[in-house]
A and B are shown apart, each in its own frame.
Chain A
Amino acid sequence: MVRFERTGGHYIYIEVQNIEYRVYFEENGGGIPLLCQHTAGSDGRQWRHILNDDEITSRYRVVAPDLPYHGKSLPPESIEWWKEEYRLTKSFFIDFLVEFSRALGLEKPVFIGGCMSGCLAPYLALERPDDFRAVIGLETVLCSEEVPLDFWDHPRISNNYKAAVMWSLMAPGTPEKYRRETMWEFAQSEPSVLKGDFNYYFREHDLRGKASQIDTSRVRVYLLTGEYDPVASPEDTRQLAKQIKGAKFVEMKGLGHLSLCEDHQVLKRYLMPILKEIAEA
């Protein structure tokens, strides 16, 4: 018997920082907009389980875009992007999400992101408090330690390196089928994209001196980190949460650094009470 998902994909043209992008996104459900942003070096497929979860989509309009240069969102046609190294900036990342939300008519969405997108969550609360009702950061840290990036885009190191690196970022109990699927997605990015995303994650992300300025009476802030995360440990996120008055921190047992797609049933245990709280606010 043929099976169809209710999740559908569309393309939309939006202008961000004076350049037009053709952006691919998938969506399902109705109600409060839930804007789901993928990690560095991957794409919106990471959200496929959340997009297809009836318990979530019955109350939330779940929308998952591919950032420009990721997944099915191609580089723009109007610039010679191939003449310079791809680099994601915090400024572009924030502007993209706000413009994308406006274009789709998402009214004060709930934002959720993992890894680099999780790190952006507090920035959205800080810099765009009128555009979001709540932010949920998965694997969020105060600031990242700068690391050498050259090996992340190297002519003699294939994308299998990126996939292999992700293996041990996930919890040992992660179902192997989802662990392998996650690795597959990381291996499919254009080789320079993960390194380019790390420009934000490892170089620009720094909430020191800023986190305490976030007003959670305007935007609710939830920070969730997996027990097995070696990049952003639960203790790292707990320290950040302490600096944001009113932020809620939850340690997620049985998950690692890629909690958005490792094991959605485990993620749901932690996510559902938060989505219920937001819906009933």
Chain B
Amino acid sequence: MQLSFKAAARKRPPSSLADLPAGSEAVIDRLDLPEDLASRLMELGFIPGHRVSAALSAPGGDPRVFRIDGAEIALRRETARHILVRNN
């Protein structure tokens, strides 16, 4: 675990939406999700290359509201985990 963590830190691979702290912004890299869910999310604006920011959440931190294209969409952590983001 520690070894892979070090390797990961060097290469800076995309993290996921689930790790995005509230109030911060990132760019969607790819959706690692089944086809129909991915296309539904893309209809709602979760498209690679688009900016997304993390907003408020339900009590307990899950699900969380994400702002994308002026809309607010709530996703569970288990879904957000599969939406990979990069920092710019």
Is the A/B pair a real complex?
A: no
